Each structure stands twice: as structure tokens, then as C-alpha cells.
Structure 1
């Protein structure tokens, strides 16, 4: 090993330098008088003072270096949210203030960046809108967060002008303007595999005023997802029934027309949600499923319009009879934009209720079944949808007698829809969207009726011809205009001209 270097003694070096200088001077000028001991001592003292001054400056430099090192450590500590340690006292107070001021500036910058990072976890500067785990794009934002709180929502409002020409007076309607709904999504991602998702909806611009038609506040869904494996995950809580296009994905920027299709309001009720537990996942690429056990419908709400008012929505829901609902969709990887699928709902809706009839009180077995198939295809600017559904209601005769109106033994509905984004042909490179669309609907909530009951001369057998425009200046906002011509087996019904705006965030 090499020996450590020997540090020269400043006093010895000064003395040697002085003696050497004196010796050289003596040799060069022998005739001059040799300096006295006192004079040599003065030279040595002067050298020693210079050395001490150098040592003092060196000490000051080391102090400043320590101070700077401490400030750097404090910056690191502050970025972690911890209290900084007490810095040592520098020799130069002016130097300390200068360093501290710079430290404060850097700390402020770091604090601002940390706050910006925390905020971006809740409200990211840029969002990607895509459906995940069966939920609508804005409702899926919580799944895209790494952790913590996520907020979002949607809303829609529109004006309806009813065309009453040629319509029986009792069926005529007045024009309306409606803040249809304002929705808040509030989700929380606890970790990589546990997610809470909630939707709270305000309808018709009010909290009810004693009437649901005047508005209400509702929990549209509130569930926990346990994401164990892409092929099998568990969901529980107040969940959307996975049927049709609209019930799960009902944000206004993702369907044409201001009002949701009537087939997906009456035959497949929206928004239909119930308490339960189930599984969902992707079996192979493109093949996804959802299967839930939920509380059944309540037949006390069934009427001539079908099962819609039998939804319980998690509000003190009767669970004497449970139900099963399931869905399968296939999106072939080799055909992007194509989706085909089917869904079903099966369950007794009697819920132990007693219905009064001429034969006395009865507890009917109101077995309710609903089957649905759908196809969707997006190719470049072209969009196509087709959906068909059929439903059956058991013991409809008992219900009809007890309620004093006809409840159909079976019902059905279907529609086809086409749209095309024409704006790229008019404005190359644009990110905006403008699509004319057409839709034809046919449904009948009294397709078959119990013996002895009327179908009201085909009043609930309806056909709807619809056309309109859908314009999106940006992805988050849609402006819609559409016209509906509605007829029934009993005659013409009021047509509708609808103009509205929708948004997601």
C-alpha cells in the first residue's frame, strides 16, 4: 500500500523560505551586513500572519460548502413533505441570506410541481375516452387512474316542439324545454385491483317537488370492482343491467338523437340498475362477458307500457325473488369496429306481493324473461346499429285484473340505425364531426294480451321514423337536432322536433 501523503507544516515552510532567502542574499552580496535575530523574527511573524489569514479564508469556504450541502438536503426533504433540519450558522450572514433565498425559490418550485402532480391524479390535463369493463367512456375514467380519486360526468338538455296536427285531442302534447339530467361520476381507485365507481344523477333540473316527473336525485350506480384477472373479475353493489346499447353506455355523445331510443326505454328499460353481485371479464381477445345475480323486478309496477316501472333501483328493493342477467359480446380482432352480442334477464317478479282479484287474494308467479340481440359496425365514417328484443310476463291475467289495465303477456321491439360522418369530405384534416342519421323503430308492449283483455286497438303498437344531425365541435360536446314521426295501430301520435346539447367531462 502507498503511504499517505505528508502535509507540509506552514511554519516550517515559512522559516525555510526565509533562511534560504537570507542565504542567497548573503552569497550575492557578501559585503552587506547580515540581518540580526530580531529582524529574522519579524519576517517569520509576518509570514505566520499571512498563513493565518489564508487558514481563515479556507475555513470560511468550508463553512459555505457545508451550508450549500445542507440546503440541498433540505430541498430533498421538503419534496418528500418532511420538515427541513436546522441549518448551521454560516460565517457570513449576507452569504447565508443569499443561499437561503435561492433555497426558498427552489422549494416553492418543487412544491408547485408536487401539487400539480397531485391534481393531475384527480383531474388529468388530457383524457382518453374509451369504454372499459362494460362502462361508458366518461364513467371508465377511474380505471385509467393509477390510484386515488377520479371525477367526471355528463349532462344533456333539449327543447321539444310537438307536432299535434291530425292527432286526437286527448293525445296532444305541449312544447317543453328540459334540463334532462346532470350527472356526477365520483370514483376511487384504492389500489391496482380494487375500484369504487359511483354515478349520482339530478333529473329535470330539480329535486322532485313531490313528483318524480318534476325531477329527482338518484344513485344510478355504486359498485366495487375486484380486478383479480382479465378473464374473471368480481363486481358487487348497485349495478347496471347489461342489456342493449344504451343501458350501460347512455352518455349523450355516444348515441344519435336527443332522446334515447324508445325500444331501449320501454322494452329494455333505462336506466335499469339493481343490487347484486356477479363476474365479468374477457375470455379470449375480443370475447367479453358479464353475469350477475340481482334482485328481481317488482310486478306491482308493471303496466300497459311493460316492465319499466317494475325497476327497483336499489331503493328498499324487495328481494324475495332474485334474478339472473348476463351478456356476451364478440369484437373480432381481425374486423375492427364490429361488435355482435346478446343478453338476457330471467327472474320472478312476484316478490311475495298479494294481488286482489275476483277470485280473492293471490300471489302470482310473475316469471319475467327478456332476450336481446344486437349488432354494431363502425367503418371509417360509417356507423350502423341493429337491436331486437322480446319479453314475456307470467300470470299477466292476474296482474291485469288487479291493476285495472292490460299488462301484456309478451312484448317486443327492434330498431335499425345508420349514420355517416360527412365532415372529412368537406373539411380535410378536421377533428370535428358531423353526421346525418336515420333510425326506424317498431315496438309493441301489448304484443299478446291475456284472454278477456284489450290491446286498446293497437295504441301501444308503434312505429317511429326518425332523422337528424349530430355535430361534435370537440369530442366532449355534442349538438343534436332530430325529427320523429310516430304512428300507432290506433292512429297518428304527436310528432317531435328535438334540439339539444350534451356533454361529458
Structure 2
């Protein structure tokens, strides 16, 4: 009897351990970790003096300077609760994060002083809760990506050829664009869709060089949302290997300012439309994207922004009625000619045209420095799909009298799921 009891106890113990192990395994499978990042070296043959556009005739000589950077390091955690519920968060360290310390300055009468150790940002890029009813219909609420343009839709460093994110899109609209709001998204046969309601852009931050780009970054502890906005993306996959995407944004901005009374009577409506395509075959990847934007009452907004107090989070410059960006790139895997070679090596060409002052209202100068073209030749080597080693040479070309700017860039990048 004692032997039977002992054997029964051992069986129950083993069963308990198996059940516990299964529960731990199921719990673990609900939790995933991922991330992406880049380490970059860049060498420039032009001066970084801010006067090079004001007095271009004084900066015709080539210079030699370099810099290293960690543009993005991002970690993502997603947990599936079950019954269609999940939560996800993503934190981004830009340019290595920030650092500061408190110290007593002997040269300043022993006063406490905060020393900034380095530049950079730490940003909550995503934080949302989602309820999935089926692959066709899902609701997401929280801090979400606004999928306007090709780079906001595919912003991982393994999803574009250039070392840095495509320059045109990154100049005129936010990258990666993330706002607080609600998303309804899903997949219907050869189509997928994403319709969003998010907080609008901050009118204070619009300017000449970056159009409405800065309007997504709030300098406050909260995001202004007196004016809301809508965004959408629709993709079609009817042709094998081809994705065709349409995306857009519409929202007023004049109400999203701590000085909203200055913009009384204005709407500051921002309209952005974008079309992008991507084609992938066994050894060829080609992408293209065009973005066009319109800002209503740009003359009135420019006048107000330039009159804001100097401490206001504003460039204090004119902002154009229209901005535009066009990008096309194509790469071919040359290692396909060497069957024994490991990995993939894409030789690519990239072209970008962008102008943050594409069209201006009467009486506003459309400065030629903001009309830029970028020509890039480069290589991407993928030893495995999650890692890309990048090298490129680019030429940024302006209309006269501005000088051409050439850059050699090297990058080590990754993106993937860790668990």
C-alpha cells in the first residue's frame, strides 16, 4: 500500500510538473520581444556652418569632416492576453538617448548646476491595446503609428536601402509619425486597410525647412488635441510580388497651440496625400513614393509664427502652402550570379526630389535652398534577413547659387523578433 501511494505521488508530481511546464510555455508564447537599430558613420565634404546657405559664395571649398551616430535603437514588447486582446509598447532611443548630471560649480560661487552630458531623445513610439475580432476587423487604441507615406509604413532599417531614412519624406512629414488615437484595421482578400482618428498637428512648429514635420513633436507633457485629424492607408496585393499603397491625412492645426487665441478665426487645415509602390521578386526590389501636402491660410500662420515669443517652440519662419517629395529606388541581388555565395548583396540606385516650399502664396519667397535633389549609389549586404550592412555615396544637388553636398555613409543595422 505504501509503495502504491509512493508511485501515485510520483505520477501526480510528474503530471503537475508537465502541466506547469505547459502553462509556462503557453505564457511564454504569448510574450514577444523585438527591436531594430542602426549604427552609422558618415563623412561629409561640405561645411556644417549655418551660414553656408546665407552666403554660399563663401563655402565653395571642400572640407573634410565625419561623424558617428546611433540614429535609432528601438525595443518592442507585445503580450497577448487571449480572447483577441493584446497590448504592445515600443520605446525608442534616438542618437544614443540623453544624459545629464547635477554638480556644484566652483567657478559659479558653488551653485548647483545641471550639466548636459550628451544630446539625444528617449521617445515612447508606440503603446496601444488591441481587440482582434478576426483578420478582417481589429480595433487599436493608444499611441499608434500614422501610416502616411512609404517610410512610416515600412520604417525598419531593413525595409529601405539608404543608410538613413529616405531624406525627402523625413524632411516634410514626421518620421516615424506616432500620435494618440484609435485605429480600425484589417485584411480583406487582396486588400488591407487602416483608418485612424488621431490628435492633430501643432501649428506652432511649422516652418520653411521642414514644412509640418515638427508639428508631431510636443514640447509639453501632453499632446494638444483641440483639433483632431483623420488618417488612412489602403494596400492592394493583387499582382504577385507587388504592393500598391494609398495613404492620406486631413486635420486642422490652428487650435493646437498654447497661444490658440492668436490663431482665432483660422483653421490651418493640413492635407497630405501619398501613393507608394513596392515590387519584390527573387532578386529585385524596387520602391517608389510620392507625397504632396497642402496647408490652408499659410500666409496668416507664417505671420503669427514669426511673431511668437522667442522661447516658443517654433522655427519663427514662413511656412509654404505646398510641400512635395518624390522617391524611387531599385536594387538587384548580385550574389544571385554566384550560387555558392551566402547571403544577399543588393547594388542599388536611389533618387529623391523634395521641396518643403514647393508652392507659396503671393508675397512669400520660395527659397531655392529648400528645393533639393539627392542621387545615391550604394550596397546592402544581408548575411541573414535580419541584419543589413550598408554603404553608399550620395550627392545632394541644389539650384544655383547653392553648392553641391556629397556624403559617404556606412551603416550596420538590424531588425527582428528576439523571442
- TM norm structure 1: 0.70
Residues 138, 186 of structure 2: 8 Å contact kept: yes
The alignment status of 1:482 with 2:392, answered yes or no, reads: yes
- SS at structure 1 position matched to 2:37: strand
Q: Deviations over 1:143-167 (max 9, x none)?
A: xx5x2x22111111101101228x7
CA–CA separation in structure 2 for the residues paired with 1:468 and 1:118? 46
CA–CA separation in structure 1 for the residues paired with 2:376 and 2:120? 27
Which of residues 170, 181, 196 is equivalent to 1:265? Answer: 170
In terms of fraction of residues, the more helix-rich structure is 1
Which of residues 128, 152, 159 is equivalent to 1:223? Answer: 128
- SS at structure 2 position matched to 1:188: strand
Q: Structure 1 190/352 Cα, relative in aligned 2: closer, same or farther at 3 Å?
A: closer
> Is the radius of gyration larger for structure 1 or structure 2?
1
Residue of structure 1 equivalent to 2:142:
237
- SS at structure 2 position matched to 1:266: helix
Q: Structure 1 212/482 Cα, relative in aligned 2: closer, same or farther at 3 Å?
A: farther
Residue of structure 2 equivalent to 1:450:
361
Q: Structure 1 65/190 Cα, relative in aligned 2: closer, same or farther at 3 Å?
A: closer
Residue of structure 2 equivalent to 1:321:
227
Which of residues 239, 255, 264 is equivalent to 1:351? Answer: 255
CA–CA separation in structure 2 for the residues paired with 1:234 and 1:472? 35
The alignment status of 1:427 with 2:339, answered yes or no, reads: yes
Q: Gapped runs of 5+ residues in structure 2?
A: 101-114, 307-316
Which of residues 148, 163, 183 is equivalent to 1:278? Answer: 183
CA–CA separation in structure 2 for the residues paired with 1:212 and 1:391? 38
Q: Deviations over 1:160-185 (max 9, x none)?
A: 101228x7456979421002221110
The alignment status of 1:155 with 2:65, answered yes or no, reads: no
Cα shift at 1:502:
0.6
CA–CA separation in structure 2 for the residues paired with 1:361 and 1:424? 59
CA–CA separation in structure 2 for the residues paired with 1:317 and 1:279? 21
Residues 345, 371 of structure 1: 8 Å contact kept: yes
The alignment status of 1:364 with 2:276, answered yes or no, reads: no
Residues 160, 497 of structure 1: 8 Å contact kept: yes
Cα shift at 1:363:
4.8
* Stretch moving more, 168-177 or 464-473: 168-177
The alignment status of 1:473 with 2:383, answered yes or no, reads: yes
CA–CA separation in structure 2 for the residues paired with 1:438 and 1:78? 57
Q: Deviations over 1:303-326 (max 9, x none)?
A: 002010011469511111111101
Task: Report 1 or 2 for greater relative contact order, CA contacts < 8 Å, sequence distance ≥ 6.
Answer: 2
Which of residues 244, 260, 269 is equivalent to 1:340? Answer: 244
Q: What value does the CA root-mean-square deviation take over the aligned residues?
A: 2.8
- Equivalenced residue count is 380
Cα shift at 1:70:
3.6
In terms of fraction of residues, the more strand-rich structure is 2
The alignment status of 1:252 with 2:150, answered yes or no, reads: no
Residue of structure 2 equivalent to 1:197:
88
Residue of structure 2 equivalent to 1:27:
none
CA–CA separation in structure 2 for the residues paired with 1:173 and 1:459? 22
Cα shift at 1:379:
1.5
| Moved >6 Å (runs of 4+) | 170-173, 210-213, 354-357
- SS at structure 2 position matched to 1:469: strand
CA–CA separation in structure 2 for the residues paired with 1:492 and 1:224? 49
